[in-house]
Amino acid sequence: MQLTAPHHIIAIGASAGGMEEINVFFDHTPLDGVSYIIIQHLSSDFKSRMVDLLARHSKLIVKEAAQGMKVMSNEVYLIPNDKYMTISGEELFLSDKKDIKGPHLTINKFFTSLATDCGKKAIGIILSGLGSDGTEGIKAIKKAGGIVMARNPETSGFPSMPAHVIATGLTDFILEPALMPAAIEDYIKYGLEISEEDDDKNIKSIVDLIKANSPLDFSDYKQATILRRTRRRAAAANFPSLSNYLAYLKKNPDEVEVLSKDFLISVTSFFRDKQAFEVIQKEIIPALLQLLAPDEELKIWVAGCATGEEVYSLGILIQEQLQGNFKDTVVKIFATDVDSLALAHAGKGIYSLGIKKHISPERLEKYFITEGSCYRISPAIRKMVIFAQHDLVKNPPYCNMHFISCRNLLIYMTPVLQKKVFAMLLFGLKKDGYLFLGPSENPMHIIKNLKIVSSKWKIYQNLIAKRAVNFDAFSMPDYPDTKHSPPMPMAETMSKDARQSIAETIVTGLTEDLDFLSLCIDDKQQVVQSFGNTKKYLLQKHFTTNLTDLLSKPLAVAFSSLSKSVLNTGKKAVVERIKIKVGRRTLKVNMAVRPFPADKNNQKMLVVTLNEDKLGSVPDSKVDTYDPKVYQDRYAINLEEEVKELKDKLQSALEKLDSSNENMQSFNEELISANEEMQSTNEEMQSVNEELHTINAEYQSKNKELLETNDDMNNYFRSNVNGQLFVDDDLLLMKFSPGAVKQINLLPSDIGRPLSNISTNIKFETILADITEVLAKGNVITKEIETNNGDWYQVMTMPYVRQADNKRNGAIITFNDISELKKAQQELDLSSKMLGMAIEAAELGTWSINVKTREFTSSSRLKELFGFESAQMMTFPAAIAQIAGNYQLIVSEAIEETINGGKKCDIEFPSQGHHDGKLRWIRAVGNLTHNKENIPNYFSGVLLDITVHKLNELRKNDFIAMVSHELRSPLTSLQANMQLLALKAKKNDDEGTLLAVEKANKQIKKMGTMITGFLDAASLEEGKIYLRTQTFEVNGLLQEIKEEMMTTTTNHQINLLPFKTISVNADRNKIGQVVTNLLSNAVKYSPKGGNIEVSCRTVRSIVEVSVTDEGLGISLPDQAKLFDRYYRIESASNAKIAGFGLGLYLSNEIINRHKGRLWVDSELGKGSTFHFSLPL
């Protein structure tokens, strides 16, 4: 594997629960030119075995990081357990944890350095773990332009770390560890192909384009998610930049729809998070049914229902509990989503066969109908559900719900939008209703109004009855094909007459007719309501409702005095003829201030009435006339009193504030101290928990190995036909294998009983002493015992030793059934005795030679055959020395040929007695024996004294040789006379005589051949046959013999197949004799008109000659004896064919003397092929 610099560096942060996920991650990791660096929370005192464990799961090179180590592609680096680690210049740098006090945020530290060093080449991954380590690090990676992945916290046993990362809104991928490598590969392949220039501007334009052309609005969704999906879509469509893709979207509305659908995440399954649904089944649904009033409907809202699996899951759980008093309860489940296609699929209620892995067989049978290769939801569940298109962002909520489910939807929204949706969901819940969220969603905005039912599965109960929500931002749901037009500006004023009561209409009319202005103000002088023309008497100021600010100076001075008086006395106060300027006119205005009945909150309110003094009437003595000086003095006094009162209040407030500040400072210091202690404790607990989890993971691995070992042992016991007993120090039976039940008739109730008290078909008294000895000495005892029913067992008693302390804590007794072996041994003993008797009766001598050591062992009879005394030691060379003459070499070579080549040894030789000097003829027959590995280990055999037989045979051979020699002289004379007779007949043209002479010559030749055979056989027996070797061409010899045979053969065709010139070194006459014999046999045993084929070829370092005929064929039993002396095949078809059985015997001996081999291939009815081979 070539080591190069990586084009990306992937950092993986993990804590508690992360080891298994890392293994799964690297099970799916390819060799893709990147590097992996694992930052795991480890104790400084705990030596991790992560390198060895991970190497089993990864095709990459796994190393523990070292100081200054260069990061290379296709390698994995693990942080040491007692170090911090950073990266710079693609080199790893380590520092001791002991040098830094406080929490060890190793993931944040490395991620931050990775962002600085690698920028856009950095990829951060957060797996399971406790705490929030890694959150700050991924922010740095995102800021540098890298990407961030987190495992799905829903399926994590320790979701804290990934949940914190996802909550930042910066996560690009939320995946299971097994899916992450493929996502990384896709990102590296496609993600970099999209230009990042003006991405924010382009993505905003794309979102606006979707909003204008569809009912969907993704404005407040997390931009990282939208941007990632848009980039992926653009890359798939081969657009180099988002600006190009935006231009394409503007021209292709269909692509806009496809992209918007890609933004929608319709991922769900039946009973997703089964433990959460178990909580709902056992706790939530029963509580909801109990809270229902008589005839009240159970209302449930599932927001973001996707394709309906979760909706129907809830319906199934509810249907299972609609029994007894609740069987007639009406259930309405409102299922909503913005995706119309997903709703259409959900409405059909048809799902693939793959749902079987999420639903029990009982529920499948009860609540689903099989339709071909699909399942359809049953009508009983379908009628509960109402599907509707609804946008959580824009549309009002469903109200008075007993249960609302909104899972894994809010995580894709910005915090502002999440707050709005949470408020809406709370508004839709009835008091004591339940809210069901996804594992990564946190309702912090409304948590004060909720009771936590299950913190793990995010199930909450609503505590409040009053709800408040602002519906200004909501609109009615749109139809799926609705397209939005740009919003029109709202009218500045709206008619109020339609919304006013009759009384308000009358009052307004009277004030206008009488030219009055009436104002209702609160205790803070804020105008609550007005009747009449405000333009005439009030200053036209914006953004204020304070009456003092709206009055002109004279009116303000008068109002200050009158309001003070009314508030003190509780009586009406009036002042007339206050001069004010309105434009160029000077008006005299009358002002009246009277108390207004307090509202339900006991708030003091005043009614101020202003009207123009048009009549100029005589002043009423009871009514004050406005005197500017007097009222300004009163106004000044009032201001002074207000200032003094404000100062007193301010001083009191300042004193309270100082006191509060001191208390707060004290509280703050205490809280800081407590927080630091809690933080330190939490970090220590977290570290301890992570260490415990890591150790626990390894213990679980060990437990798994122990379980596998235990399974192996149980299966071994089950499969072991031998019985085994386990006893303790007190000879109590602790355990026995299944095989022991069959063999020893034990019962489960025998466990714990002393062996001496157990009644079986084996007498334990015979082995109790052995067990006692084994416990005392630790040795192993093996013996054979016979049971009451005649079976035999080999009993092995050995100590039970504990590996930890090497202490003997009991004994193991193993019973091997050797009944069959015992029977075979007895039969073997009988056979051995019979064989010994046969050898003794036949007076055979036996020997054995160790093939490896050449150690020679002989019987007493063998020593006698060589003239040694039975008690005398005889070595192998001493035995060979007693063999006569040239036979010593022949016997030695035959023995070596058997030992080295495996050929059976069968040889006859003369021997001179060592002591008695007696000449004996001996026949030796021997062969190799093999061990279990089929390797020869001994050469053994027997010797038979054949002196009498051999002498008779020698006399016969002498007689044959003498007779043959005596016959040869008259036969030669006869042949000469026949030649003279043939010359005379030829001279006289006597055809009859010539024909008779030719027939006589054939018989003379046949008789000569017969006599030669007898002489050769005799010479061979006496060892007087000699080879006169020379180099000659086989081609010429075969052609010569063929032509010679054709002169005497008229009924057969002999074909010599062509072959290249081959030369051998051999006795040409003897080889010619063999070929002639084979051709003669082929002619004799083939039908008339048959073909005889002669071929020759070279095979490796030998030449092979073959003669094939179309004769009767030879059976396998006959083939085995075919080359024995005087052997002829006895059959009706061969009865008329002359012969003595010497031809093939002599041919075989001649070929053997040439270190060759003669053999036959034949099948009855299909002819025969004789082969012989000679070394080149």
As annotated, the active-site residues are: 15, 41, 133
The tokens 């609109």 sit on which residue? 475
CA distance 1064 to 1034: 7
**Biggest alpha carbon–alpha carbon distance for the chain:** 208
Q: Is 42 exposed, middle or buried (0-12, 13-18, 19+ CB in 10 A)?
A: buried
Among candidate residues 94, 143, 136, the one with its CA nearest the CA of residue 116: 143
Cβ neighbours of residue 805 closer than 8 Å, sequence gap 6 or more: none
Helix %, strand %, coil % of the chain (to 5)? 45, 25, 30
CA distance 627 to 249: 76
Residue 983's Cβ-side half-sphere holds a number of Cα atoms within 13 Å equal to 5
CA distance 935 to 1157: 25
CA distance 65 to 77: 5
Tokens of 884: 């006569």
Neighbours of 208 (CB within 10 A): 13
CA distance 1002 to 1080: 14
Tokens of 423: 């408020």
CA distance 998 to 1159: 35
Helices (H) and strands (E) in the chain, counts: 34, 42
Report the SS3 class of residue 947. Answer: helix
- Strands 35-40 and 75-78, sheet pairing: parallel
CA distance 384 to 405: 16
Among candidate residues 535, 672, 707, 664, the one with its CA nearest the CA of residue 610: 535
Report the SS3 class of residue 767. Answer: helix
Contacts 24+ apart (CB under 8 A), 344-347: 345/307, 345/308, 346/305, 346/306, 346/307, 346/308, 346/311, 346/387, 347/308, 347/387
Contact 16, 128 (CB under 8 A): yes
Among candidate residues 1131, 1144, 1133, 1141, the one with its CA nearest the CA of residue 1172: 1144
Q: What are phi and psi of 959, to 5 degrees?
A: -65, -45
Q: Which run of H or E residues covers position 95?
A: strand 91-96
- CA 1152 to chain centroid: 65
CA distance 761 to 1167: 66
Tokens of 339: 């995706």
Please, what is the angle between helix 1068-1085 and helix 1034-1048, to 10°? 40
Report the SS3 class of residue 736. Answer: strand
